[in-house]
Structure 1
Amino acid sequence: MKSVRFDVLTIFPRMIDFYISESIIKRAIERGIIEVGVTNIRDFAVDKHLTVDDYPFGGGPGMVMRIEPLYRALTHVKGRQKKHTILLSPEGSVLTQAKAVELSQIKDGIVLISGRYEGVDERISHSIDEEISIGDFILTGGELPALVIIDAVARLLPGVLGDERSNVEESFTGGLLDYPHFTRPAEFMGMRVPEVLMSGNHKEILKWQRQQSLKRTMLKKPELIDETKLTEDDKEIIEQLKEEV
């Protein structure tokens, strides 16, 4: 299987290097499932001071990332290949599990541009495929969003997680939030694990898990209920939960 390639353009490469050298992402790289290239935009600056930012035309607060080093870095990384290029920006569409699944299907490679300062020169928009945000808030740069995308996409690839069922059963994969999880000890400070989970009755366990998943979703993210394809049993459970609430 061909590995999936991520290229991150940043002026703080060590931020990326540190994260990808740990845990699941590190193992995915060692297994050849993914590749992560990190390119320092500053290496492509056009002056001796390696300047990557400048004052905005028209005035205004802050600095803007210059087009020349960014464009040169992007051209260098893409070469003659057609790579899906993403600008991390608070103006982009918010990352969802569905978008992570979509990105995991891309085989030609993904380039992630980590902006800084007040933003990047608008002319880079002619060289990108889409803008993505990880939420309606402002960060100091695009490095964290880039890592979030790498993590969200990588764990969907075969062989990255230890148990392939993890992707199937976790939050959002089926449109609902995940059910509660418990492990040893069976009792802690008077709080006991639900008896059904220790009963060995797999049919009842699955039923309990579905009920809890529906209940959590109703209480925490009710909007997801309307977006989920529900069975008749699900609808009956929801009506019972509404009465309880």
Structure 2
Amino acid sequence: MNEPTWTDILAAWSTFGTAVLTAVLVILAVCAWRTAKDTLDASKKASEAAEASAVAAQAANEQARLDSIEQTRPYVFVEVVPGLQGAGCWDVRIANSGRSAARNLTLDYEHWSQNPDDVGTAVRELFETSRALPPGCSIRAVWRLEGNFTEGPSIVGLGKSGKITVRYTSDDPSRPDYDDSFDVMIEKSGLWPIPESGPEPEGVTGQARKFYRLGQALTRRIGETSR
């Protein structure tokens, strides 16, 4: 067998070096691919986290906006309460307990009379006339009267039950319209308290009796104003 020449040795080392270099390049390529993949995955996760954070921030901002609207909105409610005129009388009270003015306020009642009397006509005109109601303010009007009147029917005005619908807007353009309904429940609200007017003036006559009656009327009126 012939001894290898220096050219054969050089060719062998060259082949070995090429193989080693190729192996190193493959290893470096694999490392670079893994690094690139890890970077891509990290970038994708960061992008997803940023997107989720943006969605959460948007939701938080929207909730804050809605909370601000709810905290500063007008809130109009309607109730039928014992009237300031005394027993047998009822008033409708329209109040704004919100933090801003109610604009274009109108109301409706589901049981309007086909032949309205003066009280029913006045209430319907009040309800259908658009107006602004500032916060903390209220409107009160006669709703129903019952009694032994010298002329006309013994009952005037509107019913003891039904639903009153309230519609209005606000100063916030992002939430312009509100629509609420409230029940009239005169006969389902327990026993209405009325102010005490004092005992009957037994044995009191003349001017003293008139003065006593005047005091009774004043006492009732003062008591009614606190309701």
Compute the TM-score of the two structures, normalised by the length of structure 1: 0.18
Structure with larger Rg = 2
**Structure-2-length-normalised TM-score:** 0.19
